[in-house]
Amino acid sequence: MSSAARTARNLVITGVTASALVLAGCGPSATDSGQAAGEITALDYYADQQGSKAWQQVLDTCAAETGIKVDRQTVPTDQLLPKVLKDASSRTLPDLLFTDNPSLQQIAATGALTPLTDYGISTDGYYPGIVKAGTYQDKVYGLAPGVNGLALIYNKKLLQEKGIEPPQTWEQLKAAATALTADGKYGLAFSALATEEGAWQFLPFFWSNGADLAKLDSPQGVEAMRFVNDLVTSGSASKSVLNWNQNDVADQFVAGNAAMMINGSWNLARLDETAGLDYGVVPIPTPRPGTAPVVALGGEVGAIPATGPDRQQAAAKVLGCILSEPNMVAWDKAHAYVPSKMDVAKKFGQENPAMQPFVSEVETARSRTAELGEKYSTVSQALGAALQSVLAGQQSPEDALRAAQEQAGRP
């Protein structure tokens, strides 16, 4: 055998060995038996500093209470669902999963989740809206330790300077936003991304005006979109709302570039930390005086994927601990969420005045998936696209919503 051939043979052996190693590395590890119920994995998307710290505290408390070690993983919000899908196909789902409530039904539809009733976790005392959001085909798969919603947050100083009262109706909101727009500053900021985030921000206007997700292009829906569009075309809100996510909106508000913003309660901790910022919170203005706004119910629900009986039991213990009243309140206080149990929320609102508008909104809030189930994501995608198209000046509210309805109605 020539030396070249010998080298080649050796190379082949090396190559085959390397490939075998690679393949071994790709496969599921076989050492994970059902015995390790003393330890579970948990997945969430609280990637921001305050949220992450607050959540870690809750997990630490419950790890100590139950004696179960919680191995936590955090991914950015938009990567949670792709990761869950990937994990589902490789059967490496976390034992405890915290996901945005509108995506719960989709995950449940895959069959990867187990009903919480299996573990004796009760839904008594929770807001019906949040139970509905966690329900798929009459079984509850997810429950939340806290919920959130959107409200109008305003800069007290800027409003006082102009002698403006916090707006309660669309008329007042429009007038206030116009009056507060001056010197490169805008009256109002909100997010109008072409995604779920934009749809979620638009829904309070859409629903409060009596429109329905089953028929996007109803006169009420068109009217709501025209109202939001007028805020932008009149210059009371920057055209940059097209690119802002809700964090960007909060940045604009903190920087004093916007006098009012539509944003969620989870921003309050950050606003509190900003020196010299005096803010107030009122429910989102409604089309007519004296009516309650209908906002979308936000927040994450905890679910238990099918990962093996021992691990599921352990995960249920930890979830039960997270849902217990003291931990629920601790988490909601730290992250400015509204407790998902009605009587706890009532007390919570009385003790935290800045949270009271959010608490009262939750009573009338609607679950995004209650009506449409797993089809919601298609509809919200179409609604977000329509909003962008209108605000960018591409289509009239009527045309955009008609197109959205067609797209959403496609099988």
Site residues for another protein per CB under 8 A: 1-2, 4-5, 7-9, 11-12, 14-15, 18-19, 22, 78, 81-82, 85-86, 88-89, 106-107, 109-112, 184, 186, 193-196, 238-240, 242-243, 257, 374, 377-378, 380-381, 384-385, 388-389, 391-394
Please state at what angle helix 376-391 crosses helix 196-208, rounded to 10 degrees: 90
Query: Which one, 11 or 64, has the nearer CB to another protein?
Result: 11
Least Cβ distance, residue 346 to another protein (angstroms): 35
Least Cβ distance, residue 313 to another protein (angstroms): 21
Q: Which amino acid is at 312?
A: Q
Query: Which one, 328 or 391, has the nearer CB to another protein?
Result: 391
H helical segments located in 262-355: 268-273, 309-323, 325-335, 342-351
Q: How many of the other CB atoms lie within 10 Å of CB of 53? A: 13
Least Cβ distance, residue 306 to another protein (angstroms): 9
Write the CA distances from 182 to 16, 198, 235, 309, integer angstroms: 70, 26, 10, 61
H helical segments located in 27-76: 49-66
Query: Which one, 57 or 195, has the nearer CB to another protein?
Result: 195
Q: How many of the other CB atoms lie within 10 Å of CB of 144? A: 29
Query: Which one, 51 or 384, has the nearer CB to another protein?
Result: 384
Q: 3-state DSSP call for residue 77? A: helix
Query: Which one, 209 or 377, has the nearer CB to another protein?
Result: 377
Least Cβ distance, residue 272 to another protein (angstroms): 24
Task: Please identify which residue in the block is written with the tokens 């589902």.
Answer: 88
Query: Which one, 106 or 135, has the nearer CB to another protein?
Result: 106
Question: What residues contact 400, with CB distance under 8 A and at least 6 apart?
Answer: 225, 386, 387, 389, 390, 394
Asked if residue 376 lies in contact with residue 369, where contact means CB atoms within 8 angstroms, the answer is: yes
Least Cβ distance, residue 410 to another protein (angstroms): 9
Least Cβ distance, residue 104 to another protein (angstroms): 12
